[in-house]
C-alpha cells in the first residue's frame, strides 16, 4: 500500500498550520493516525516565504528529531528532514533522520555522503528530465534509495501543476519510485468551484488517485483521513 508521509511544521509561518501545533506532540499524533514517515521542516516554502538562518532552522528541527528518534525504539516509522540547507540535512541525519527531502534538488552530495534515502523535487516545469538527470547522478554516486517528486507548487503555473498530477502515472513508469505532495496547496483554491474549499477533500482525493496511478508515498497534512481513504481503496482494489 502507498506509504503516508505526515507533515510536521516546526515553523510559525506555515501556509497550513501556521505554527499552531507543538511539533513533537503533533508528530506523535500523526503516528497514531497512521503515518509511516514524519517529514520535519523548519523553514516554510510557501509562496512568498521568508528564509530563516541556518542557526534558526537547526534550533527548530534538531530537538524534535532527537525526541522522535527515541520513539523509534517502540514505533515503526522513518524520520525525514525537509530542508534546502546542506548543514541542516547533515546534522538532522546525525540526530536521527533517515531521509533527506530537498525541494531544490541541490543537496545531492549531502545525500550521498550521509547514505540517506533521497527525495528530490523539480522546481521547474520540465519535471521528468530534471528529476531523471539528478536521480541518475545520485545512483551513479552510490545512493541506493531515491524517490522523485514532481514538486507541485514550485516553479509551475496552475496548468502545469494540474498536468503534473493528472499525468503522474508517466513519472511512475520510470525506474524511480514517486513521492507526491499536493496536500492543502494553493492550486486547489484556484480551481473553479473550490475557491472557498478548506482543501481537505480535494487533497484526499488526489492522494487516492495518486495511489491508484502508482505513487509510492503521499506527503499529507491530514494523515488520518488519508489513511482511511487508502485502506478503503486497498479493500476495493
Q: Reduced to 3 states, what is the DSSP secondary structure of residue 100?
A: strand
Q: How confident is the model at residue 168 (pLDDT cuts 50, 70, 90)?
A: very high
Between 162 and 45, whose confidence is greater? 162
pLDDT tens profile 111-157 = 999 999 999 999 999 999 999 999 999 999 999 999 999 999 999 99
Please tell me the predicted confidence (pLDDT) of residue 18: 45
Q: From CA 38, how far away is CA 194, in angstroms rounded? A: 28
Catalytic residue (one of 91, 134, 156, 185): 185
| C-alpha 79, offset from chain centre | 11
219 is a catalytic site residue: yes
- 38-53 pLDDT per residue, tens: 999 999 877 667 789 9
Tell me the pTM.
0.94
C-alpha distances (whole Å) from 23 to each of 27, 61, 137, 149, 181 are 6, 9, 34, 24, 19
Does 108 have pLDDT greater than 50? yes
In terms of DSSP bridges, do strands 179-181 and 3-9 run parallel, antiparallel, or are they unpaired? unpaired
**Helix H or strand E segment including 220:** strand 217-220
* Percentage of the residues of the chain whose pLDDT score is greater than 70: 95
Answer whether 67's CB lies under 8 Å from 78's CB. Answer: no
- The pLDDT confidence band at residue 13, using thresholds 50, 70 and 90, is low
Q: Quick one: pLDDT band at residue 184, thresholds 50, 70, 90? A: very high
227 is known as an active-site residue: no
Whether the CB-CB separation of 157 and 131 falls below 8 Å is answered with no
Rounded mean pLDDT of 170-174? 97
| Confidence at residue 45, expressed as pLDDT on a 0 to 100 scale | 76
Amino acid at each position: 500500500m502507498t506509504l503516508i508521509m505526515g507533515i510536521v511544521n516546526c515553523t510559525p509561518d506555515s501556509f497550513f498550520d501556521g505554527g499552531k501545533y507543538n511539533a513533537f506532540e503533533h508528530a506523535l499524533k500523526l503516528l497514531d493516525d497512521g503515518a509511516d514517515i514524519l517529514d520535519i521542516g523548519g523553514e516554510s516554502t510557501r509562496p512568498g516565504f521568508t528564509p530563516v538562518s541556518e542557526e534558526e532552522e537547526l534550533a527548530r528541527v534538531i530537538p524534535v528529531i532527537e525526541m522522535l528518534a527515541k520513539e523509534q525504539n517502540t514505533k515503526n516509522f522513518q524520520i525525514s528532514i525537509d530542508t534546502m540547507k546542506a548543514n541542516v540535512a547533515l546534522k538532522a541525519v546525525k540526530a536521527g533522520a533517515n531521509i533527506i527531502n530537498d525541494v531544490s534538488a541541490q543537496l545531492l552530495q549531502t545525500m550521498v555522503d550521509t547514505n540517506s534515502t533521497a527525495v528530490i523535487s523539480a522546481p521547474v516545469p520540465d519535471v521528468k528530465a530534471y528529476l531523471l538527470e539528478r536521480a541518475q547522478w545520485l545512483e551513479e554516486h552510490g545512493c541506493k534509495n531515491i524517490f522523485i517528486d514532481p514538486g507541485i507548487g514550485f516553479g509551475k503555473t496552475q496548468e502545469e501543476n494540474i498536468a503534473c498530477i493528472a499525468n503522474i502515472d508517466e513519472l511512475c513508469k520510470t525506474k524511480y519510485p514517486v513521492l507526491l505532495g499536493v496536500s492543502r496547496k494553493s492550486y486547489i483554491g484556484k480551481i473553479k468551484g473550490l475557491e472557498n474549499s478548506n482543501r481537505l477533500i480535494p487533497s484526499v482525493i488526489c492522494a487516492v488517485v495518486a495511489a491508484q496511478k502508482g505513487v509510492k508515498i503521499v506527503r499529507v497534512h491530514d494523515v488520518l483521513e488519508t489513511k482511511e481513504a487508502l485502506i478503503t481503496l486497498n479493500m476495493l482494489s
